[in-house]
């Protein structure tokens, strides 16, 4: 299964949730944010090289370098210019064939680099922050996913401190909303590259992430 993590607005926690879900599903996390990558990278070919035809998708996957298998993305502008997003289809399918489930961390916005992962994905998770203004972006992402035939697994309302407008989100998006409470350990997931579903599995945040992962698994079985 190819699961796209999308959400319109930047900074709502798409990359963090991608790593968490990648750990929960034992999937390969692909950082498809070609312009502003987030996932830790290192020496070796990355997604820019793969999309420019300079590297094989499988050789760009980092295995055993951390708790989650990743296909990181380069940080350079020239790499982003050279990357052909239309090739992403074949790349994601190659990775899925070799390693099984794939979680795609989509970029913010509604351009082709955000749309192509949704066009390829079997299902998607829409991430939003618990603010009123975030709902509009979540709805736009949801509409794009619907047009491109990526079924919605769940809406994640991320970093909830008090009461979240869950009912409003569920009504507008037509899907159950999962609340991930604000947790400093989740904030450090990317920085330390330690997903809480592994390091703190009994927290409420980890429970919520596992619930989303279970929903994705149920979609896969259907």
Partner 1 sequence: MFQTAAIRRVSPDPPDAPTDAPSARPVRADVTTTATVGGALVAVTLRNDTAVAVRVRVENDLDGPVLPPRREGVPAAGWDEDGFTGVVPADARLGIGYACPNVDGDTAGPADTDRALDPISLAVLGPAEEADPSASDRVAVAVRSLGRATPPADAVPTSAALDPDRTDSSAGCRPRRCDGPAESDPSSVPTPVAAWLDAVETRVRRAERLTDATADEAAAVLEDCGGADGVATLPDELQADRASLRAAGDRIEDLAARAAEADPELVVSSLLAAAEGDTSPASGGESTASGTSGAGDPEAGR
Smallest separation, CB 137 to partner 1 (Å): 15
| 42 burial level (CB within 10 Å; 0-12, 13-18, 19+) | exposed
Question: Token pair of 133, please?
Answer: 């203004």
Chosen residue from 23, 29, 47, 118 binding partner 1 by CB under 8 A: 118
Residues from 132 through 151 that contact partner 1 (CB under 8 A) = 144, 148-149
Binding range to partner 1, per CB under 8 A, among 6-14, 52-60, 115-123, 210-218: 115-123
| Minimum CB–partner distance for residue 48 and partner 1 (Å) | 12
Q: Which residues contact 141 (CB under 8 A, 6 or more apart)?
A: 6, 7, 8, 110, 114, 126
| Other C-beta atoms lying within 10 Å of the C-beta of residue 192 | 12
Q: Looking at 36-165, list the stretches that DSSP marks H as alpha helix, in order from N- to C-terminal side.
A: 47-51, 77-82, 88-99, 112-120, 132-147
Q: Is 110 in the site for partner 1 (CB under 8 A)?
A: yes
Q: Is 89 in the site for partner 1 (CB under 8 A)?
A: yes
Q: Which of 73, 114, 135, 213 binds partner 1 (CB under 8 A)?
A: 114
Residue 115 lies near partner 1 (rule: CB under 8 A): yes
Q: Which of 17, 88, 106, 206 lies at the binding interface for partner 1 (CB under 8 A)?
A: 88
Helix (H, G, I), strand (E, B) or coil at 41: coil
SS3 content of the chain, % helix, strand, coil (to 5): 45, 15, 35
> 180 forms bridges with which residues in the sheet?
158
Q: How many residues does the chain have?
A: 222
Considering only 80, 91, 135, 197, the residue that binds partner 1 (CB under 8 A) is 80
Member of 42, 54, 81, 98 binding partner 1 (CB under 8 A): 81
Footprint on this chain of partner 1 (rule: CB under 8 A) = 34-35, 77, 80-81, 85-86, 88-89, 107, 109-116, 118-120, 144, 148-149
């Amino acid at each position: 299964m190819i699961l796209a993590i999308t959400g319109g607005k930047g900074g709502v926690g798409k990359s963090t949730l991608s790593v968490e879900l990648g750990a929960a599903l034992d999937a390969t996390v692909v950082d498809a944010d070609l312009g502003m990558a987030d996932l830790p990278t290192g020496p070796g070919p990355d997604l820019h090289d793969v999309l420019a035809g300079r590297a094989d998708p499988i050789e760009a996957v980092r295995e055993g370098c951390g708790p989650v298998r990743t296909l990181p993305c380069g940080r350079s502008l020239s790499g982003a210019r050279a990357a052909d997003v239309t090739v992403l289809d074949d790349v994601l399918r190659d990775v899925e064939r070799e390693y099984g489930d794939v979680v795609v961390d989509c970029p913010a916005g509604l351009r082709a680099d955000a749309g192509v992962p949704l066009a390829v994905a079997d299902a998607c998770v829409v991430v939003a922050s618990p603010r009123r203004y975030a709902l509009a972006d979540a709805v736009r992402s949801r509409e794009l996913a619907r047009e491109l035939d990526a079924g919605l697994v769940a809406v994640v309302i991320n970093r909830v401190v008090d009461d979240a407008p869950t009912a409003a989100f569920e009504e507008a998006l037509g899907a159950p909303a999962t609340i991930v409470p604000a947790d400093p350990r989740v904030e450090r997931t990317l920085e330390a590259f330690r997903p809480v579903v592994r390091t703190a599995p009994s927290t409420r945040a980890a429970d919520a992430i596992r619930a989303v992962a279970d929903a994705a698994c149920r979609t896969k079985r259907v």
